[in-house]
Chain A
C-alpha cells in the first residue's frame, strides 16, 4: 500500500498538470479569438478571387491558348496532395483528422493506379505521413518559427508548387486543410487547386458579354493564377490556424476536466487511507492497553 506521502505527491502532480492544461486552454482561447477574426476577414477575398477567376475562366475557356495552370495538363495521372497541418500537438484529433483524409484520398487514388506525391506544410502532418509514405513526400515546409502568418508565407509555398508544376512533376494538386466552422467543429476539407475548380461556371451571369482585358487576357491570367494559388493557400493556412486553436482549446478543456475528476478520486482515496491508518493505530493502542 502506498504511503500517505506518496499519495500527497501524486495529488500535487495532478494539480500541477491541471494548472498547465488550464493555462494552455486560456492561451488557446485568446489566440483563437484573433485567429478566428483573421480567418473570417480573409474569407471574402478568397471567395471573391474565386468568383472573379471563375468568371474570367468561363470567358476564356474557349481559347486554346489558356494557361496550363488554368486548364491543367490534360491528364490526371499524377497527383500532388498538399497537406497543411499544425506545427504543434496537444490539440486533440486536429492533425490526425487532416492526415486521415489525405491518406484515404491517397489510398483511393493509388487503387485507381494513379501516382501520388505529398507536399507537407507543418511538421505534424509530415511526421505522420512519413511513416506510411516515406518515399512519396517531395517537399516539406516548416512554419514553426513563424509567429504571425503573413501573405508572403503562402506566396513562398505557392511559388514552390508552381515550380514543381512547371517541371511537370504532377497534373493535379489538391489542398488539404481544416475549415473552421466553430470552436467545437473543425471540418477537414479537400480542395482542388490545380487546375482550379470553380463553384459557378456560367457565362449567363454576364449576359453573354465578353470581358475586355487590360493588358491581354493571357498576361492577366499568368499574373492572376499564381496569385490565386497563393490566396487559396493563405486562406487555408488561416482557417487551419483558427481550427488549431479551437481544437486545442476543447482538448485542453477536456484535459482540465479529466484532471479535476482524477484529483477528486485521488483525494478520496487519500482520505480513506488516512482514516484506515488512524483506525488501525487506535486498534493497536486499545488492544495493547487491554493486554496489560
Chain B
C-alpha cells in the first residue's frame, strides 16, 4: 500500500513533508490514528503529542492547538505552535498554564469561561503527559 502523504506546517516553518506509514493525532474529541486512504475529515487539535510513524521509527512532536485535514491529497496538519518533543520547553508551557489560570479567574462570561477552563484542562493534561 502506498504511504500516506503527510504535511506538517506551523506559521513559522514547515516541520515535515513526505510519505509516512501512520500518524497519530490528538483530536479534540479523542486521539486518532491516520492510515493511508483515510476518509476525508477535518478536526481541530487539542494541545498534545503528534506521533509520526515512518519505517518503523516513531517521531514525537508536541503541538499546542491547530487543526488537521484529511483529503485525497493526504494528511495536512496546521499547528499553531509545534516543537519536537525533546526540544519542547516545559517552562513556557508552565507559563501558558499560569496565563490560562489568570484568564479563567478574570473571566465573567459563562460561555467564555467554559472554553477557557477546557483549554486549561488540555494544557494541564499535556503537562502531565510530558512530565514522564
Contact = CB atoms under 8 A, between A and B. Distances in A.
Given A38-B12, A48-B9, A212 B40 contact: yes
Given A48-B78, A220-B44, A215 B11 contact: no
B43 A214 contact: yes
Given A45-B10, A214-B43, 5 more contacts: A42-B11, A151-B11, A207-B72, A210-B40, A215-B28
A71 B35 CA distance: 33
B29 A214 contact: yes
Interface string B48-75: 0000000000000000000101011100
Contact of B44 (A51, A205, A223, A231): A223
B125 interface: no
Q: Would you call the interface of chain B mostly helix, strand, loop, or mixed?
A: strand
A52 B78 CA distance: 10
A105 B115 CA distance: 40
Nearest to B79: A45
Contact of B41 (A38, A42, A211, A223): A211
Given A52-B78, A205-B72, A215 B13 contact: no
A45 B28 CA distance: 21
B11 A55 contact: no
Contacts of B71: 52, 55, 205-206
Interface string B13-32: 11000000000000111000
Given A52-B69, A214-B29, A45 B11 contact: yes
18 contacts: A42-B12, A45-B9, A45-B14, A45-B78, A48-B78, A52-B67, A56-B69, A205-B73, A206-B40, A207-B72, A209-B40, A209-B72, A211-B40, A212-B41, A214-B27, A214-B28, A214-B43, A214-B44
Contacts of B9: 44-45, 48
Interface in A199-213: 205-207, 209-213
A278 B14 CA distance: 70
B76 interface: yes
B130 interface: no
A224 B67 contact: yes
Interface residues of B, number: 24
A234 B67 contact: no
Given A212-B40, A213-B43, A44 B14 contact: yes
A49 interface: yes
* Complex A-B, nearest 9 residue pairs according to Cβ-Cβ distance, in ascending order: A214-B43, A212-B41, A41-B13, A52-B69, A45-B9, A211-B40, A209-B40, A45-B11, A44-B14
Interface in A141-199: 151
Contact of A52 (B11, B29, B76): B76
A231 B11 contact: yes
A56 B85 CA distance: 30
B107 interface: no
Given A48-B7, A214-B27, A220-B42, A55 B78 contact: no
Nearest to A228: B78
Interface string A36-54: 0010011011001101100
A234 B72 CA distance: 28
